[in-house]
Amino acid sequence: MSSVELRVPGIGGGADVEVIEISVAVGDRIEVEDAVIVLETDKATMEIPATDAGVVMNMNLAVGDKVSEGDLILTLDVEADASAGGDSQSGVSEPVVDQKEEAPVVTDTSSSSSNMTVRVPDLGGAAKVSVIEVSVSEGDAVTEEDFLIVVETDKASMEIPSPSAGTIAKLFAKVGDELNEGDPIAELTGVGGVAESASVKDANSEPHVEASASEKSAPVSQQTMIQQTVASTDTPSLTTAVAEKAASELNQSSGKVHAGPAARKIARELGVDLTLVKGSGPKQRIVKDDVQAFVKAQMQKAQSGASNVVAGSGIPAIKLPDFSQFGAVERQPMSRIHKITAANMSANWLNIPHVTQFDEADITELEAFRKQQKKVAELRNVKLTPLPFILKACAYALAQYPQFNVSLDMDKEELIQKSYIHIGFAVDTPDGLVVPVIRDVDQKGIWQLAEECMALAKKAKDKKLLPSDMQGGCFTISSLGSVGGTAFTPIVNAPEVAILGVSKAAMKPVYDGEGFVPRLMLPLSLSYDHRAVNGADGARFTSLLSELLGDIRNLVL
C-alpha cells in the first residue's frame, strides 16, 4: 500500500478560502479528476479534483474550514496502477471553477467600433462545450457582463458574459449546440467602441484567481478550463468586476441560480427548474442534496394533493375508510365501459350547469293505439314500446326549438348549430351504460324507429356496437319507464345540451274540468345545459312533448 496526500492547489493567491462542500467520504474509491472538495471565495467557486485514483483513508477537512494553498485535504491509499494517472508528486490538481461564479472570457473579433461578434473563449483544453442555456434573445439590450449563454462539458459548466453593452443583433448559439473555441455566440450592435473590447479590458484587470494556474506545473484537466483561461496571458480573461457581479447575481430573485455542475446535472436529469430550488450551501448555493430534497418534497406534495383533491380540479376527493373493519369486502376492477362512463359523468356534471324541468304527458291514447298495433308489430317482428313515439316527439321538438340542437364551444365562445337530428338512447347492459344513436330521426317513421331501437339495443347487449353507432348524437333519451320511478334528473351527455329522462307511466286521476278521470300519465324529466338553454325554453320544450305525445296525430303530420 502506498499513500498520497492531496493538498490544496494554488488558488489564485487566495488564503483562508472556505470549504463549502466535501464531495467524498472516508472509504470512498475515487478516480483521477473526481471532485473531492469545493472551495469558495467571494468571487469564485472551485471544485478541487483528485490527481490520483485510490481509496480515501482520511479526510482532513470539514465544511466551513478555511484553507490555503498547500493545506492537506485528504490521504489516499493509492493503487499501484492508479499512480500513473495523476501528479502524485504534487498531490494537487488545478481547481475547477464553478460555472455561475466564474464568467469566462469573451472574445471580441470585430474590427468595427459599433459591432462585435462574441465568440467562445479559450476552453482550457476542452475540445467542445455544449450550450445548456441561452439567456438572451435577438433584439435584447444587454449590459456589459450580462450572461449570454451557459455552456458545459461533462465535468464543468460556465456562463459566458457579454464583453460590452449593446443589442443582440443575431444569436448564433442555441441550446444543444456543440461549440468549439472561437465559434460565434452572438452579434452585438451599438457597442461602445474598440477600447471596450474584452481583450483590452481583461488584460488590464486580471482577477486574482488566475495566477496559480499558470504557476503550477500540474497537468491541466478539462475541469481546469476556466481557471486556465483566466490565467492565460495571451487571451482575454475574466474581469474582477465580472466575477463579483456574477457572484452577487447568483440568487434566485434574479432568476440566476447558484449551483455546481453536479447539482445542475441531476437537476437536468430530473427535469428540475433550479430557480425553484432553495440552496442550503453558503450564499444559498444549491447542492445535489437540495435538488433531491426538492424532488422528494414535490412528490410528497403531489401524493398528498392527489389524496385530497380530484386531480387538477381543486375539488376535495372522497376519502375511503377501511371497509373491512365493518365486515367482509371484495374488490373488483371496473369494466372499461364503467370507467369511461364514470369519467364522462364526472366531467359533464362538473362542467355543465344543469337544470331539470319536469312535466307529464297524457299517453292514454298513445297507449291505446300502441296496443292496437301489437298484432301488426308481431307480424313485423318488431316490439313496439313507447320509445319510438318519444323519439319522434323529441325530433319534432328539436326542430321547433333548435336551441336544444347545439353544442357549445366555450374556447371560441361560439354556438355550433346542427341542422341534422340524430338522437341517442341509453341502453343498460351488464357491462354498463351505452348510448347508441339513431340518425335522422325526424325523417323516419315509427316502425323504422322501433326496428332500429331493437337492433341497436340488441347490438349493445351483445357488445357489438361500433364506435360509429354511438357518435353524432344531438340529444339523448334515457328511458327508465320499463323499470319504474316517478322522476329523475339525468346528466346531460356533453357535448349535447339536453337529455330527456322518461319514467314509468302510471294511471292518475286527472281533472278534465268537470271531474276526475283516469289517465295514463308519462313522467318526463328534461335536464339541460343552462348556458345554452334558458328556463322558459326548457318548459316550452317539455310542454310541446306533452302535447305531441298526448295526441299522436301531431307526430304523423
Which residues belong to the active site? 530
Cα atoms in the Cβ-side hemisphere of radius 13 Å centred on 68: 4
- All residues at 6 or more sequence positions from 266 whose CB lies less than 8 Å from its CB, including other chains: 272, 288, 291, 292
Strand partners, 438: 423
In 163-173, which positions are buried (b, 16+ CB within 10 angstroms) versus exposed (e)?
Answer: bbbbbbeebbb
Residue 393 or 502 having the CB closest to ligand COA: 502
Among 97, 522, 548, 549, binds ligand COA (CB under 6 A): 522
550 binds ligand COA (CB under 6 A): no
Residue closer to ligand COA by CB (options 53, 426) is 426
Cβ proximity to ligand COA, 262 vs 457, nearer residue: 457
- Residue 447 Cα distances to 368, 381, 385, angstroms: 16, 10, 11
Instruction: Please report whether residue 552 would count as binding ligand COA according to CB under 6 A.
Output: no
CB of residue 175 vs ligand COA: minimum separation in angstroms? 52
Q: How many CB atoms lie within 10 A of CB 219?
A: 16
Nearer to ligand COA, 401 or 488 (CB): 488
* Among 76-84, 305-313, 329-337, 425-433, the segment contacting ligand COA (CB under 6 A): 425-433
> Does 428 contact ligand COA by CB under 6 A?
yes
- CB 271 to ligand COA: min, Å: 43
Least spacing, CB of residue 403 vs ligand COA, in Å: 24
How many residues sit in the footprint of ligand COA (CB under 6 A)? 20
Q: Cβ closer to ligand COA: 215 or 428?
A: 428
Q: Among 60-68, 113-121, 314-322, 424-432, which window interacts with ligand COA (CB under 6 A)? A: 424-432
User: SS3 of 58, please?
Assistant: strand
The nearer residue to ligand COA, 96 or 480, going by C-beta atoms, is 480
Q: Is 19 exposed, middle or buried (0-12, 13-18, 19+ CB in 10 A)?
A: buried
22 exposure class (CB count in 10 Å sphere: 0-12, 13-18, 19+): middle
Q: Would you call 202 helix, strand, or coil by DSSP?
A: helix
Question: Least distance from C-beta 477 to ligand COA, angstroms?
Answer: 8
CA 317, CA 310: separation in Å to the nearest integer? 5
Q: In whole angstroms, how close is the CB of 341 to ligand COA at the nearest point?
A: 9
- As measured in angstroms, the least distance from the Cβ of 480 to ligand COA is 5
3-state helix/strand/coil string of 115-172:
EEEEECCCCCCCCCEEEEEECCCCCCEECCCCEEEEEECCCCEEEEECCCCEEEEEEC
Residue in the shown chain whose Cβ atom is closest to ligand COA = 481
CB of 177 to ligand COA, least distance (A): 59
Q: Of residues 435-494, which lie at the interface with ligand COA (CB under 6 A)?
A: 453, 457, 478-482, 490
Nearer to ligand COA, 480 or 545 (CB): 480
Binding mask 334-373 toward ligand COA (x if CB under 6 A, else -) reads ----------------------------------------
Contact indicator for 526, 502 with CB cutoff of 8 Å: no
Alpha helices in 285-363 (DSSP H): 288-308, 336-351
| Residue 517 beta carbon to ligand COA: minimum distance, rounded to whole angstroms | 19
Q: DSSP labels for 14-31?
A: --SEEEEEE---TT-EE-
Beta-sheet pairing, 354-362 with 427-429: unpaired
Applying CB under 6 A, which part among 204-212, 242-250, 347-355, 422-430 lies near ligand COA? 422-430
Q: What's at 89, amino acid-wise?
A: Q
Site string for ligand COA, 493-512 (x = CB under 6 A): ---------x-xx-------
Binding to ligand COA (CB under 6 A): which residues in 371-400? 385-387
Point out which residues pair with 309 in neighbouring strands. 316
State how far the Cα of 100 lies from the Cα of 1, in Å rounded to an integer.
40
Nearer to ligand COA, 405 or 479 (CB): 479
In a 10 Å sphere around its CB, with 0-12 CB exposed, 13-18 middle and 19+ buried, how is residue 234 labelled? exposed
Binding site for ligand COA (CB under 6 A): 385-387, 425-428, 433, 453, 457, 478-482, 490, 502, 504-505, 522
